[in-house]
């Protein structure tokens, strides 16, 4: 039996960064559903949280899982479920793009704390600032920088 521990920090936003998740109760319902559904699909979500227009998720990939498979299962199913539940008065969609960065074992606890503190974090920092910081910190090249 292989033993694998590969943590990935995923971040994705709502379509056009619409604040579909501005209601705290609806937001927590979404996170709860994502976590429960992921468990059924044998996706291990260590930590999940977010804010009005985006989600952070710390996932430990299984031996046969890819980043693309995991994110498609989570985003696709959760938006389908959310619309079926009619949780809001408009059609809910996630943005196609997402971020995924590996997380070293030495910073797992710091990453968990960062994800758990999204409510407080976004009282001071906009998602755009967080987005730009994430790109810079992880060394992602921006298309406009070419």
Domain ranges (residues) in the chain: 6-139
Give whole-number Cα distances, 5 to 8, 17, 73, 118, in Å.
10, 32, 20, 25
Chain-wide mean pLDDT for the chain?
A: 90
Cα separation, 56 vs 10, whole angstroms: 6
Report pLDDT for 144. 53
Is the model more confident about 63 or about 128? 63
Classified as helix, coil or strand, 11 is strand
Please give the CATH architecture assigned to the domain spanning 6-139. Answer: 2-Layer Sandwich (3.30)
Is the model more confident about 130 or about 37? 37
**DSSP string for residues in 41-71:** TT-EEEEEEEETTEEEEEEEE-TT--HHHHH
Q: Kindly report, residue by residue over 83-142, the tens digit of the pLDDT.
A: 999 988 899 999 999 999 999 999 999 999 999 998 887 777 777 777 777 778 778 776
Report pLDDT for 145. 45
Cα separation, 44 vs 85, whole angstroms: 24
Residue 56 reports pLDDT greater than 60: yes
């Amino acid at each position: 039996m292989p033993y694998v521990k590969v943590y990935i920090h995923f971040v994705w936003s709502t379509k056009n960064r619409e604040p579909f998740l501005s209601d705290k109760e609806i937001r927590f319902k979404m996170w709860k559903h994502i976590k429960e559904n992921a468990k059924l699909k044998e996706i291990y979500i260590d930590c999940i949280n977010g804010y009005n227009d985006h989600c952070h998720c710390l996932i430990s990939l299984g031996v046969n899982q890819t980043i693309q498979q995991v994110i498609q299962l989570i985003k696709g199913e959760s938006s389908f479920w959310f619309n079926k539940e009619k949780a809001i008065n408009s059609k809910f969609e996630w943005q196609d793009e997402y971020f995924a960065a590996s997380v070293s074992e030495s910073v797992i606890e710091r990453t968990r704390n960062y994800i758990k503190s999204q409510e407080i974090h976004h009282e001071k920092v906009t998602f755009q600032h967080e987005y730009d910081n994430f790109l810079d910190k992880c060394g992602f090249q921006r298309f406009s920088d070419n």
